[in-house]
Amino acid sequence: MANPTKLSLITFGESAAVALARAGGFFEQRGVEVEVTRTPSSTEQMRGLIENRWQIASTAFDNVLAWSARDGGPRIMAVARASAGVDLPVYVRPEIASWDDLRGKPLAVDAVDTAYGLVLRRILQERGLELDRDYTFVPAGATGYRLEAMEKGEAFAAVLNPPWNARAEESGMRLMARHSDVVPGYPGGVFAVSRPWAEAHREEVAGFLRGLLDATRWARSPDRKASAAALTASAMGVTQEQAARALDRLPEPLRSDPAAFAIPLEIRLRFGFAPPNGTEIAAYLDASHLEEAESE
3-state secondary structure of 285: strand
DSSP string, 58-127: EE-HHHHHHHTTGGG---EEEEEES-S----EEEE-TT--SGGGGTTEEEEES-TTSHHHHHHHHHHHHT
Instruction: Tell me what pLDDT residue 255 has.
Output: 87
Name the percent of the chain in helix, strand, coil, to the closest 5: 45, 20, 35
Instruction: Tell me what pLDDT residue 85 has.
Output: 85
Instruction: Tell me what pLDDT residue 121 has.
Output: 98
Instruction: Tell me what pLDDT residue 1 has.
Output: 55
Using 50 as the pLDDT threshold, list the residues of the chain that sit under it: none
Instruction: Tell me what pLDDT residue 231 has.
Output: 93
pTM, 2 dp: 0.93
Residues 222, 20, 206: CA angle, nearest 5 degrees: 105
Task: Find out whether the peptide bond into 163 is cis, omega within 30 degrees of 0.
Answer: yes
Q: Cα–Cα distance between 27 and 56 in angstroms, integer?
A: 14
Instruction: Tell me what pLDDT residue 207 has.
Output: 97
pLDDT digits (tens, 9 = 90+) for 196-226: 999 999 999 999 999 999 999 999 999 998 9
Number of H helices, E strands in the chain: 13, 10
Beta carbons within 8 Å of 18's beta carbon, 6+ residues apart: 9, 11, 34, 36, 58, 212, 215
- Ordered by where they begin, the domains of the chain are 5-85+187-294 (3.40.190.10), 89-181 (3.40.190.10)
